[in-house]
Amino acid sequence: MSIRILLADDHHLVRQGLRVLLEEEPNFVLVGEAADATEVVQLADRVRPDVLLLDLMMPGINGLAALRQVVKCAPKTRVIILSMYSNEAYVFEALRDGAAGYVLKGSRADELILAIREVMAGRRYLSPPLTEKIVEVYRQRQSTGGVLLDLYDTLTTREREVIHLVGQGLGNAEIAGKLFISVRTVETHRANLMRKLNLHNHAELIRYALRRGILPAGE
């Protein structure tokens, strides 16, 4: 049985390399490519692929926002996040939002093939470096009675989108444009998330984003 795959990455060379890799597998069929997150949501809704390979950081709405929309419009599509970030903040959020797999971009080609087959079999797949880390975090959470100590978990979906975009260096007007909401609404979300996180100014917000892994160090 053929596995229909949709590929989303904003780098042409990455897509080209992945296309060659996927086309070498006898039962893999590439049904589309997208270069930004908005486009991939539209394509997923139209072609309903079996598997979506989704870059975490793309132009337009971010990859996590695209993931949430794809889960709604194409619920049978198994989404594998492709990312260079191994921070558990990204991994947990991706899994919580409906991803079936999370593969690091530094992984070997055969690992991506394995990930596709695993999610098609109904199982989750995490790149090996992530597995031990995630299991350990789960153990820590179980030892505290399942209580999530990170205030980030109190944020709404929209507040998380805003803090991710702030972490990327966007101002309120730019965030409003990306999320198709008013600047005043962005300001409200921003004020609410800062209150929940006990942050008092922009500098504290950026430091929190770095510490939480929302804004990778060195970017």
Could you tell me the two tokens for 16? 């080209």
What pLDDT score does 132 carry?
59
Average pLDDT (74-100) is: 86
Q: What is the pLDDT of residue 218?
A: 47
* Weakest mean pLDDT among 57-71, 90-104, 146-160: 146-160
CA atoms within 13 A on the CB side of 93: 28
Task: Between 170 and 217, name the one with better pLDDT.
Answer: 170
Distance of CA 203 to the CA centre of its chain: 25
* CB atoms near residue 151 (< 10 Å): 14
pTM of the model: 0.67
Q: What is the pLDDT of residues 123-182, one digit of tens each?
A: 889 888 776 566 566 556 555 555 444 667 677 788 888 988 888 888 999 999 988 999
**pLDDT over 70, % of the chain:** 85
Query: What pLDDT does 217 receive?
Result: 47
* Bigger pLDDT: 77 vs 58: 77
CB 3 within 8 A of CB 51: yes
Determine the pLDDT at residue 152. 75
- Cα distances (Å, whole numbers) of residue 119 to 50, 53, 80, 161: 10, 11, 8, 26
| pLDDT given at position 219 | 41
CATH of domain 151-212: 1.10.10.10
- Looking at residue 172, its amino acid is N
* Class of 3-139 in CATH: alpha beta
Residue 147 confidence (pLDDT): 47
User: Please, is 95 exposed, middle or buried when counting C-beta atoms within 10 Å of its C-beta (0-12, 13-18, 19+)?
Assistant: middle
Mean pLDDT of the 69-78 span = 95
- Choice among 17-21, 204-208, 210-214 with the minimum mean pLDDT: 210-214
Q: Which residue has the tokens 């992984």?
A: 107
pLDDT at 20: 93
Contact 111, 127 (CB under 8 A): yes
Q: Could you tell me the residue ranges of all domains in the chain?
A: 3-139, 151-212
Residues ≥6 apart with Cβ < 8 Å to 182: 176
Tell me the pLDDT tens digit for each residue of 17-60. Answer: 999 999 999 899 999 999 988 899 999 999 999 999 999 877 76
What would the two tokens of residue 143 be? 């030892």
- What does pLDDT average to over the chain? 84
Name the residue among 91, 92, 43 with its Cα closest to residue 69.
Answer: 43
